[in-house]
A and B are shown apart, each in its own frame.
Chain A
Amino acid sequence: MKKIILTLIFSCLFVANSFAKESLTILNAGSKTGSFAMQMTAVSKDLQEYYNIDLKIPGDYCTAVQMLKSIKGPVLMPWANDFEAVGRDGSGCATFEVKPEQVVRYDSTVMCLCSMKHDADSLMKNKHTVGHTTPVKPFSRAVMALEKSFGAKVKPIAYDGSGATKTGLYNGEIDYALVSIKHGRDIIRNGGSCFYEYSANNDSELVALATMDPSNTLLIAGYDAVWLALNMTDNEVATLRATIKEVHMDSSSAMFEYTQGGKVLNVMWDLTPSQITTQWETSVKNLQE
């Protein structure tokens, strides 16, 4: 009888173990309410089918990097060029070495200038306030670049997250908002307009500021973000990369909804390691002092 019970217990354990999902800690390195938090929440729902997800949103990248040191198992963590830029400038609290082989997603979005009641000309001619998100230094520098290149009389106003920046724009506290194109679309949906973007892209629907003054590199500004697969073997990284790509393409997924099928976020799936390094380093340098 004992043998039968033991056999049954071990069989159950064996079967349970065979079907057990891998554990994956998703560690949000951004603020609690920013776009990283939204994306990590969305992807954690999508990946639940494949992994035992432990989502951590400590609220800032300082804490996240500290937590990372203590996590021994597989981790998915996003990292952004603005964190890296202030870190390298010596005013942040952490820097992180991005190894291309650990990157499972690379995305890039340009920043644009939008308003509810002012037009494109007014920004360059009149005194205006421009709201932006944190970290303060890189984005306030990008706003002040308008003054340097075009003589615009602008005052940067920092908000904690893009949601708060949009609220400031809606309640009339600020005249313009420097936000990613995704949030720019929200502003347009709410009756506002977007005019300029911080890029050198001649084909853009908006006026690319760097084409108006190519000498000012601060007129190219955007969020470049990498999703890093840490504490994993090459095979595990490859599996995670494929799964993440799959959920992005799945029209019923939370990530598909967030990116609106890739329309509001430029995710680059096929970058080579050297392309990742080059693009990442350039994007960080554009935000550095």
Chain B
Amino acid sequence: MLELINPAIIGILAGLISGCIPGIGNFAALLIIFPYLIHLEPLQIIILYTALTTISQYIGSIPAITFGIPGESSSVPAVIESRNLKNPQQIYQAIVGSAIGSTFGGLVVLVLTWLLLDWLIYTVHFFNTLVQFSLYCIVLGAMVFIFKENKYWVNILLILTGFAIGLIGYEKWTQTKILTFENHLLYQGFPMIVVVIVLLGLPEVLKNYSTKVNYKTLDYKPSKVNFNWITSSWYSLLGFIGGLAPGLTTTMSSQLAWVDAKSRNTTPVQRIVASETANNAGAFSHLLPLLLLGIPLAGSEALVLGLVEAKGFRLDTTSFNDIFVVVGISLVFLNIVGLCLAWPLAKHIIKLFQLNIKLMYTSILIGFVAVIVWVGYLNYQTFYYVLVALALLPVAFIIRKLDTMPLIFAFLVHDRIIDAANRLISLYW
């Protein structure tokens, strides 16, 4: 277990970045720490990712409630409701309630999963190629309509572009070379890390580069916090279900709980607590398809899956029991850390916003370039990596104003979809 402490600490720090800095979601946070990530063992990668997703949910609520800035996408309900907070007591209640609710939600889903463990493993018997293919289609289909920043046809084009970029290279199912121009370097296709950084990391940072944060000290006054464990259990359950929504995961969790809370004529504080309780519940449930079936529901999960498999490790039912025990124990500790960060330490967390945000983004951009060069160097292909990055820059420029996650997701899972599609054709035709 000791070897998991360092990855967990790095995951917590990455969660801080992901939760605090607008535009730096879990995916971009993973890219920043990529050189560290590629040296880890599969279980360490999973623990780091668990820490990252859990802590980012806790931290995301602080800037959302205080400054009205969504550190991560699931904090949008908190941003909207923060405008309705009238006095320092309510800010205090929202922050403390969110922290307690998040811990409660995280632990409730952990117990729920533990109770359902045998049933979950049994469901895998139905997980054949048809179900796999359908799931991937649902995820991609959902992405067309979920990323509302883009028009739906733009999302379709992005998905097709992701597929097309993924197809470049030697295609093992048909044993054909696609757009390789007899260049042997292109047989391997475009390096994953280069595509992800240039077509996702870069546009995301550039989009948020001009974000302004008007720093103010956290002005809250301790007051009584009401915590209702029955309603919190309900929002945890909603969050659990929402976390399984392809492409949306924790965003769906917080939205579901927020809509439900609004329909009950609750106060803004209660609505914030509801959405924050749910998104932390979803932070665990969205990991389940990944750990149990090797099916990623979000882009960052597809990246983690690729990394874990690159270590020769297969995520499926055979490894699930062992992983669940370790992840479960880690989650208990992570939720305690999250609670401390989001409640007693919230005043200090907020000080991160005193830093020059433009400087942070510039450092991240330099970091991205360094990651491409470093990973290329580790793979003895620095020149190729840099060349591919330069070749993709015009594409990045064209799509700079779009949400490029559909493209990246399609790129990351294209081989699995082709694999399942080929098998389906063989099985049924």
> Which residues of A approach B to under 8 Å, CB–CB?
28, 32-33, 37-38, 40-41, 56-60, 62-63, 65-67, 70-71, 86, 91-94, 129, 134-137, 155-161, 163, 167-168, 170-173
Q: Could you tell me if B419 and A160 are in contact, using CB atoms closer than 8 angstroms?
A: yes
Q: Could you tell me if B314 and A163 are in contact, using CB atoms closer than 8 angstroms?
A: yes
Q: Which residue of B lies closest to A89 (CB)?
A: B175
Tell me how far the C-beta of B385 lies from the nearest C-beta in chain A, rounded to whole angstroms.
12
B264 within 8 A of A: no
Q: Could you tell me if B380 and A93 are in contact, using CB atoms closer than 8 angstroms?
A: no
Which residues of chain B have C-beta atoms less than 8 A from A58's C-beta?
A: 188, 310, 379
**With A60-B170, A67-B379: A171-B175 Cβ-Cβ less than 8 Å:** no
Stretch in B90-98, B124-132, B151-159, B403-411 touching the partner? B124-132
Which residues of chain A have C-beta atoms less than 8 A from B313's C-beta?
A: 33
B184 within 8 A of A: yes
Q: Could you tell me if B311 and A57 are in contact, using CB atoms closer than 8 angstroms?
A: yes
B149 within 8 A of A: no
Q: Could you tell me if A134 and B172 are in contact, using CB atoms closer than 8 angstroms?
A: yes
B113 within 8 A of A: no
Can you list 16 A-B pairs, Cβ within 8 angstroms, ordered by A?
A32-B309, A32-B312, A60-B172, A62-B169, A66-B188, A67-B381, A92-B175, A93-B177, A137-B175, A155-B426, A158-B173, A158-B423, A159-B423, A167-B316, A172-B125, A173-B128
CA distance A135 to B423 in the complex (A): 14
CA distance A37 to B129 in the complex (A): 23
Highest count of chain A CB atoms <10 Å: which of B125, B185, B380, B381: B380
CA distance A118 to B314 in the complex (A): 28
Q: Could you tell me if B175 and A86 are in contact, using CB atoms closer than 8 angstroms?
A: yes
Q: Could you tell me if A56 and B379 are in contact, using CB atoms closer than 8 angstroms?
A: yes
Tell me how far the C-beta of B267 lies from the nearest C-beta in chain A, rounded to whole angstroms.
49
Q: Could you tell me if B426 and A157 are in contact, using CB atoms closer than 8 angstroms?
A: yes
The one of B185, B312, B419, B427 that contacts A66, using a Cβ cutoff of 8 Å: B185
How many residues of chain B get a CB closer than 8 Å to chain A's CBs?
32
Q: Could you tell me if A37 and B312 are in contact, using CB atoms closer than 8 angstroms?
A: yes
Which residues of chain A have C-beta atoms less than 8 A from B312's C-beta?
A: 28, 32-33, 37-38, 40-41, 57
B187 within 8 A of A: yes
Tell me how far the C-beta of B44 lies from the nearest C-beta in chain A, rounded to whole angstroms.
14
Q: Could you tell me if A156 and B426 are in contact, using CB atoms closer than 8 angstroms?
A: yes
Q: Which residue of B lies closest to A86 (CB)?
A: B175
CA distance A160 to B129 in the complex (A): 12
**With A86-B175, A93-B170, A93-B177: A171-B128 Cβ-Cβ less than 8 Å:** yes
1/0 contact string of B293-317 vs chain A (CB within 8 Å): 0000000000000000111111010
Which residues of chain A have C-beta atoms less than 8 A from B169's C-beta?
A: 62
Tell me how far the C-beta of A53 lies from the nearest C-beta in chain B, rounded to whole angstroms.
12
CA distance A245 to B273 in the complex (A): 61
CA distance A153 to B201 in the complex (A): 51
CA distance A265 to B222 in the complex (A): 68
CA distance A60 to B313 in the complex (A): 15
B422 within 8 A of A: yes
